[in-house]
Amino acid sequence: MAKRPNLLLIMADQLAPQVLAAYGPSRVRTPHLDRLAGEGVVFENAYCNYPLCAPARFSMLSGRLPSKIGAFDNAVEFPASIPTFHHYLRVGGYRTCLAGKMHFIGPDQLHGYEERVNTEVYPADYLWTPDWRLDDETWLEWYHDMSRVIESGPYRRSVNVAYDDEVEFEAVRWLHEHADSGDDRPFALTVSFISPHDPYLAPPYWWDLYRDVEIDPPRIGDIPFETRDPHSRRHWFLTGRHRAEVGELDILRMRRAYYAVTSYLDAKVGRLMETLHEIGAGDDTLVVFTSDHGDSLGERGLFFKMSFFEWSVRVPLIVHAPFAFAPRRVRANVSHLDLFPTLLEAAGDGALPELVAPVDGRSLVPLASGGGRDWPDLVRAEYTAEGVNRPLLMVRKGPHKLICSPADPPMLFHLDNDPDELHNLADDPACAGVRAELEAIVAETWHVETLETAVRDSQSVRRLVSAALNTGTRTSWDHQPMRDASQLYFRESGDIQASYAGTVR
């Protein structure tokens, strides 16, 4: 059997592809991602399947639409019985490891990873459970607000930077230790950073990188509240727009900080690629770079994510494997659901077990290879968390995107002709056929009333369980990485000479 490739999945958090040079003219300096894109396959129209952290990640890892695994929001348990692609890779002979954020909720903090080298950045319990009993104008104290925008700028240190520095260090350490371990299994390493997620607090070095750069404002500025679509009006309250005024200078400062933190993240991507070459794995490692969702960055007066407009729901997706795929750009619509079958096919060669549960995606290998003429060109996504009280759904097929909910009038856009999504074609008679086709896909994919009931029931159960678990003695689900100090560095029981293995003399 031919040598199977190592797999390196690098994830950003809340990174909009629109700010990257790989996706069009950009003022953001990302030389390492530029190189990765130039040597790899760039998927120009890639989407998450839920524009919020935890459900997007659970969906990606399982290859299932979020509602099919009960991933309703940021505080719902990811069941341990659901196979991820790392379960298959591990059974198939890969050494699997996670460094960084994956926002797992519940007692299982591994989900197929053999090792996890640092803890989670967010709570692993039901603390952030939404409540659909609240009205459309409720702001949640623990949620995003405009202080994240107003207070953006250069900061010597932040929780996000401290976390990402640890993630980089532990990932690089793990790669070197794997190379020195004598373990001949290929590796499947996930390195998941929280940058450039808000709060937008840029290390001074990276902030100063943009001292002479004219920061571009949003393409589409604030849309008056009274002319917003219903979900964008809810979004106003969800993100605390009613609690603080946000001016043009605030937005420009926020975008500069976002660009700076993106450059900071880019340097970490460069360090990981450099490490692959240092350990001799640079020529046989398939690298995937993506983000869990995007960031609106003030476009249309929206901030953060939780929306199906393009800046929130699109993601960067770059596959770098020069030994397998020539550089190219792919315009077809794809989503995170497609990563599960893609990575299993790339790692296959008959060594992996047959699927024991269905997946909703398709392998990207044909598209990455220049084929894929039968590709369905279809993406589906959903949202059932804060800011709605009925399911919000999205379908994109070809150039058309439908956004719909039982609570709202539908929105239909032709993204080739209207990339800024300013012209709702839902009531245009010329588009009646397209609307009917996409609504049929919605009906085939979701039973909306059943989904709504399931979400409300889940919230109710979790509110009760959370109250119980936080009464009396509390047992944390947060991952506690363990390292056996007796096996580190120089120890009397070890071979001193062997401790130098892998060092450069």
Helix (H, G, I), strand (E, B) or coil at 280: coil
Cβ atoms of 445 and 65 within 8 Å: the answer is yes
Active site residue 479: no
Cβ atoms of 270 and 190 within 8 Å: the answer is no
Spatial distance between the Cα atoms of 177 and 17, rounded to a whole number of angstroms: 33
H-helix segments, 181-247: 204-208, 230-238
Residues ≥6 apart with Cβ < 8 Å to 460 = none
Burial of 192 (0-12, 13-18, 19+ CB in 10 A): buried
- Pairing type for strands 392-397 and 95-100 reads unpaired
H-helix segments, 239-287: 248-278
Cβ atoms of 160 and 195 within 8 Å: the answer is yes
* 201, β-bridge pairs: 153
**Cα atoms in the 13 Å half-sphere on the side-chain side of 157:** 4
Spatial distance between the Cα atoms of 119 and 134, rounded to a whole number of angstroms: 33
Beta carbons within 10 angstroms of residue 179's beta carbon: 18
Q: Which helix (H) or strand (E) holds 150?
A: helix 147-150
Spatial distance between the Cα atoms of 311 and 499, rounded to a whole number of angstroms: 49
Active site residue 53: yes
| Catalytic-role residue among 53, 87, 97, 144 | 53
Residues ≥6 apart with Cβ < 8 Å to 364 = 43, 319, 330, 334, 338, 339, 341, 342
- Pairing type for strands 41-47 and 153-154 reads unpaired
| Amino acid in position 210 | Y
**Alpha carbon separation from 64 to 92, 114, 336 (Å, rounded):** 21, 22, 9
| Catalytic-role residue among 32, 86, 87, 103 | 103
Q: Known catalytic residues?
A: 53, 103
